[in-house]
Chain A
Amino acid sequence: MQATNILILILGLGAFAFFLGRGRSLALAKPLGGIRKLHSLPSYYGLHAALWCSLPSLLLLAMWVMFDDPLINSIVVESVAAEIAPTDAASYNLLLNKISNLADGILPRKGESAALIAAADHMEALRVISRWSLTALLLTLSGLGLLWGWSRISASFRARPVVEKVMQNILLACACLAIFTTVGIVFSVLFESIQFFRSVPIFDFVFGLEWSPQTAIREDQVGSSGSFGAVPLFVGTLLVSAVAMVVAVPIGLMSAIYLAEYASKSVRTYAKPALEILAGIPTVVYGFFAALTVAPFLRDLGASFGLSVSSESALAAGGVMGVMIIPFISSLADDVITAVPQSMRDGSLAMGATQSETVRRVIIPAALPGIVGGIMLAISRAIGETMIVVMAAGMAAKLTANPLESVTTVTVQIVTLLTGDQEFDSPKTLAAFALGLMLFTVTLLLNIFALHIVKKYREQYD
């Protein structure tokens, strides 16, 4: 790959600049009476030269890699002969792919029209120009940077503050990546969702009772008008999450209480990590377990009681999800329970309460905000959980509160709408982003609220 080679070249030049700068500072220091006559340590002069040599080139390289392909593509497509010129977005992409494959030699050139071959040659020529001009530019830039950094070295030059300032900015940029990620998420889902809400009114989406995202391929097709009412998905998601919580909250909470208040030290050291294994198992494994072991078991069990349990029941998916969440709740609850001051326990015990009464009447009420926060985080995790429901819950959007039936969830629909090849701006794919927006908003609110509660609670006893 061309970019990788250039990257290695730039880094090599940077290393070269480091030794050059360091050597020059040492040479300067010698007649003056050693490096203590320099303002900074010799390695800082080296770093200074290396930064000047490689940093501007790296930035240029990053910009170039980002923008040269789209630029070349648009130039080529602008200049193609009129008979193959694209008419809409779909044919534009098709044409571009074809030209690009011809230029790369992936498709054979035999039998293609002259106009296409000309376009492919054009693209190839532009790419060569781009590559060479990039290399030339980068080398010049690195060389100039090196010269500048090198020429500034003198005994009184303050190299360390300059280097540290640059480093500080690099560190700051890394920290800001978290903000860029959030902004990126918001923009990517928001932008596509707005496009979606142009074709489907937001009211119909949020309050519509029917979900069948199959849009008509032909104009006159029957029965696939495509309706995007998301209520069945919300209900399905809530149902699965509710089942998960019914499993996870009592078990997680009780095991946290037992581990924190009753268990001997040896039990604690073994049982706690053993429970936490559950948190480390990948969700796809839970999905497989739910779909192939738990669901058939529940179906057979239901049949023996005369109940009809769907083979993709919300119960199986939710139950297994609950098992996955147990360690999450138990470790969060454990944290808040151990944070309750010992004096409160002692006070209650001294009044003659039994240990369980202390737990129920004193510790749990004191730890309640933290526990509620933890449960909310767990709910947000259950709502966003994907693989288990994709593998073990169904595809059919049913409006039901019966956990024995199959339901579908928001995440399942996002996955089904977006996997496989389809046009990017059909309402079907855009609907996935609208669902993503809902999911993001709800989980974000839950998280912010829960983190706020937990933080407040922590401050209370700190």
Chain B
Amino acid sequence: MTEPVNNLDKIKKSLSRRNRAEKRFRWYGRLAIFIGLAAVMVLFTDIISKGHGAFRITYIELEVTYDQDRIGVENLTDPEQLANGNWEALPKAALRNEFNDVSGRRDKRKLYGLISSGAGFDLKDRLLANPLLLGETEKVWILADDDIDTYYKSWLDGEPYAARMSAKQLQWIDELHAQGKIRLQFNSNLFTRGDSREPEQAGIRGAVMGSLLTLILTLLLSFPIGVSAAIYLEEFAPRNRWTDFIEVNINNLAAVPSIIFGLLGLAIFINFFHIPRSVPIVGGLVLTLMTLPTIIITSRAAIKSVPPSIREAALGMGASKYQVVLHHVLPLSLPGMLTGAIIGMAQALGESAPLLMIGMVAFIVDIPAGFSDPATVLPVQIFLWADSPERAFIEKTSAAIMVLLSFLIIMNTVAVWLRKRLERRW
């Protein structure tokens, strides 16, 4: 007989070490979650702190005289005269009037640089809206140049950024500020205009419209097709190799990199079918193919969640298989399908890589009005602006990101709400 081995001491000794390891392990878990959440926080604070300024923009008050001779327009209804009018002369004259001691070409150029190069056209629109102003003088708040805007905002925040400003310009702005003739206003241009090379005139309206058109087309195509495919696979498909093959395809397509769909769009829709580049039609088709797997997979899950007893009851009452699906299964699974569709659309809204391939990355000033107008979309606009060298575009980009993220947050909230509100538990 051997002595029974007494492990108790050994265990007791190791216990504190094991408990310490247990504690450490828990802290690793907490740390991991903390890092993840911190990343969310940092990302949002960074974007918001960079972008919040873009919702306000600098305006300068000038006394503008709508001088007929200076513009060279006699009749405001003649389009040719309007097109050839020297509109830029209006704000320039107003600036010279404000700072009448400026002379010399160089200083004058700096002076004109205070205001946006599109200011003359804004005044034109103002005049056309109110033709009685012709020949009159009025005080107008005129859009400032982006460098002035960047400087003025940073100066107000107490950290002046004057890298692109001349000493004269700084002095002028001080004067304007002392007289209360320079101020920040709500930046409505951001929401009403299309893209521009001049940051102060650039807006996201064109990109938002492009995104909207593309998404409408994507939804119109992918939702019916996705739901039909899901119904077929769940309710009618025989279990055979062909069905398995379809399923494998769908699962793989869901994981194919999005840029590959861009290559597909380029090769098939643009080079084979000769649909023009940069139009929402191609964008919508590519995004449809990309979101289809998501919609099919979520729709199938929704159909699966309808209990078989419902189907059996309907069949027992003499309904055909199609009547069972159309009258009972589809209405009951619709909330789940809608949730899936919204999630798919949110994914499509944020997607940019495949759209770069099909030319939706072009510089487009006009706001698209139809599916065949050249357009860009919000994420691609963000990409384009992020690439621009002007400092003022950083602010714009962050603001556009804020708009994009708010759209996504709204869509996802609606999806969650729909799921909570309409989904039935069986």
Contacts and interface: CB of A to CB of B under 8 A. Distances in A.
Do chains A and B stick together as partners?
yes
A156 interface: no
A282 B260 contact: no
B52 interface: no
B236 A168 contact: yes
B260 A189 contact: yes
B356 A384 contact: no
A contact face: mostly helix, strand, loop, or mixed: helix
Contacts of A414: 259, 263, 357
Contact of B46 (A66, A168, A262, A293): A293
A411 B404 CA distance: 24
Nearest to A272: B33
A160 interface: yes
B253 A178 contact: yes
Nearest to B24: A356
A250 interface: yes
Contact of B36 (A255, A282, A433): A255
Contact of B255 (A174, A284, A433, A443): A443
Contact of A275 (B37, B349, B350): B37
A323 interface: yes
B273 A284 contact: no
Interface in A156-205: 160, 164, 167-168, 170-172, 174-179, 181-182, 184-185, 188-189, 191-192
A192 B267 contact: yes
A82 B17 CA distance: 93
A275 B38 CA distance: 10
A207 interface: no
B26 A262 contact: yes
Contacts of B305: none
Interface string B154-180: 000000000000000000000000000
A448 B248 CA distance: 8
Interface string A399-443: 000000000000100110011000010000000110010011001
A284 B26 contact: no
Contact of B383 (A1, A287, A377, A411): A287
A174 B33 contact: no
B32 A251 contact: yes
Nearest to B50: A292
A346 interface: no
Interface stretch (B63-71, B107-115, B139-147, B223-231): B223-231
Interface in A350-401: 354-357, 359-360, 377, 380-381, 383-387, 390-391
Interface residues of A, number: 89
Nearest to A414: B259
Interface string B283-305: 00000010011001000000000
Contacts of A391: 383, 386-387
Contacts of A283: 350, 352-353
Contacts of A418: 263, 266, 356-357
A336 interface: no
Nearest to A253: B32
A185 B260 contact: yes
Contacts of A359: 25
B30 interface: yes
Interface in A116-155: none
A444 B353 CA distance: 18
B266 to A, nearest CB: 7
Given A250-B32, A380-B257, 12 more contacts: A178-B296, A182-B252, A254-B28, A258-B26, A274-B40, A281-B350, A282-B351, A284-B386, A285-B404, A386-B258, A390-B353, A447-B255
Rank and list the top 10 A-B pairs by shortest CB-CB distance, nearest first. A384-B257, A258-B29, A282-B350, A188-B267, A254-B32, A356-B25, A386-B353, A171-B232, A174-B228, A175-B229
Interface of A: 1, 66, 69-70, 160, 164, 167-168, 170-172, 174-179, 181-182, 184-185, 188-189, 191-192, 250-255, 257-259, 262, 271, 274-275, 277-278, 280-289, 291-293, 323, 326-327, 330, 354-357, 359-360, 377, 380-381, 383-387, 390-391, 411, 414-415, 418-419, 424, 432-433, 436, 439-440, 443-444, 447-448, 451
17 contacts: A160-B320, A164-B321, A174-B225, A178-B253, A178-B293, A189-B260, A189-B267, A191-B267, A258-B29, A275-B37, A278-B40, A283-B350, A285-B401, A288-B386, A327-B36, A330-B36, A355-B22
